[in-house]
A and B are shown apart, each in its own frame.
Chain A
Amino acid sequence: MNLPCPSSAGAVISVTALSRHFGVQAALQEVSLYVPRGCVCGLVGENGAGKTTLIKHLLGLLRAQTGTVRVFGLDPVADDVAVLSRIGYLSETRDLPGWMRIDDLLRYTAAFYAGWDEGFANRLREQFALSPSVRVRTLSQGQLAKLGLLVAMAHRPELLLLDEPSSGLDPLVRREILEAIIRTVAEEGRTVLFSSHLLDEVERVSDHLAMMHQGRILFSGPLDQVKESHRRFIIRFEAAQARPPQLEGALCISGHGREWKVVSSGLSHLTTAHAASLGGVILEERMATLDEIFVARAKGGQPA
Chain B
Amino acid sequence: MLDSDLTGGVLVYYCINTVDYMHLQISTADGLPIYQQIFNQVRYLVAAGRWQEGEELPPIRVLAEQLAVNPNTVARAYLELERAGVVTKQPGSGTYVSKAGRGLTQREKNKILVRRVDSLLVEAQHLGVELDEVMRLVRERRALLLEKVRP
Contacts and interface: CB of A to CB of B under 8 A. Distances in A.
B30 A286 contact: yes
A287 B9 CA distance: 12
B65 A199 contact: no
B83 to A, nearest CB: 16
Contact of B71 (A182, A289, A290): A182
Contact of B68 (A40, A182, A207): A182
B106 to A, nearest CB: 24
A265 to B, nearest CB: 13
Interface residues on A, range: 20 to 34
Given A179-B65, A205-B69, A207-B72, A228 B31 contact: no
B75 to A, nearest CB: 10
The prevalent SS among residues of B at the interface is loop
Given A179-B65, A182-B64, A228 B33 contact: yes
A200 B35 contact: no
Interface of A: 40, 175, 178-179, 182-183, 185-186, 199-200, 203-207, 223-224, 227-228, 232, 286-290, 292
Given A182-B69, A204-B67, A207-B72, 16 more contacts: A175-B68, A179-B65, A185-B72, A186-B64, A186-B71, A204-B70, A205-B68, A207-B70, A227-B31, A228-B2, A232-B31, A286-B5, A287-B32, A288-B31, A289-B29, A290-B28
5 contacts: A40-B70, A183-B61, A186-B61, A204-B28, A289-B29
Interface of B: 2, 5, 8, 26, 28-35, 61, 64-65, 67-73, 76
